[in-house]
Chains A and B, each alone.
Chain A
Amino acid sequence: DVKVTQSSRYLVKRTGEKVFLECVQDMDHENMFWYRQDPGLGLRLIYFSYDVKMKEKGDIPEGYSVSREKKERFSLILESASTNQTSMYLCASSSGRLLYNSPLHFGNGTRLTVT
């Protein structure tokens, strides 16, 4: 079974702090994603990566950056956390650049609170 592990289940940070959310997958997947989930808004894509050191902006990249130095690890960085970034963050991975029917495998999510 694919395992996608997010380093923290709950996180509380202060406004202005630099925040790192870590995600590791163990199935050698090419693609990795960061989504943000808010009530009534569903899942919105922040960034994704289809290869090491490659990244593409999703729908809401402002205030975020990402890093993918190794294939199994995809980090989401909040450069200067703000209260409107309080949310649930979901990491996901999938195999194959052009395997369109390949499903996403999700981690358990990190609930981030910025005070």
Chain B
Amino acid sequence: AQTVTQSQPEMSVQEAETVTLSCTYDTSESDYYLFWYKQPPSRQMILVIRQEAYKQQNATENRFSVNFQKAAKSFSLKISDSQLGDAAMYFCAYRSATGGSEKLVFGKGTKLTVNP
């Protein structure tokens, strides 16, 4: 079974600085998708960014980018120019692209604090 590990339970960053959240995963599959979700205090989980494993190019969405290292099974999230609204729980998730599996496997989350 696939597992997702987020080794940093909590992180903090100064406003306008850059922070990187770590995520590693364990799988024997070659085709899959990876996601980062954000859960602000309002509780609604929101998709931040996604990456297809077959793509070598790292995904970017405005101030959010990933460093995808397939061989190392690593998928870190970089937040540039951090804003107070970035404060949230961040979850990394894995989804197989084989076998018709619909479910996502989530990590335990990293709580990000943004200091003014």
Which residues on A are within 8 Å of B, measured CB to CB?
Answer: 31, 33, 35, 40-45, 48, 50, 58, 88, 90, 92, 94, 97-98, 100-101, 103-104, 106-109
Contacts and interface: CB of A to CB of B under 8 A. Distances in A.
Interface string B99-111: 0101111111100
B91 interface: yes
A103 B6 CA distance: 20
Interface residues of B, number: 27
Given A97-B102, A101-B33, A106 B108 contact: no
Nearest to B96: A100
Interface of B: 6, 9, 32-33, 35, 37, 42-47, 50, 52, 91, 95-97, 100, 102-109
A103 B35 contact: yes
B95 A100 contact: yes
22 contacts: A31-B102, A33-B102, A35-B106, A40-B108, A42-B106, A42-B108, A42-B109, A43-B91, A43-B106, A44-B106, A45-B103, A88-B43, A92-B45, A94-B102, A100-B32, A100-B33, A103-B35, A104-B47, A104-B104, A106-B45, A109-B43, A109-B44
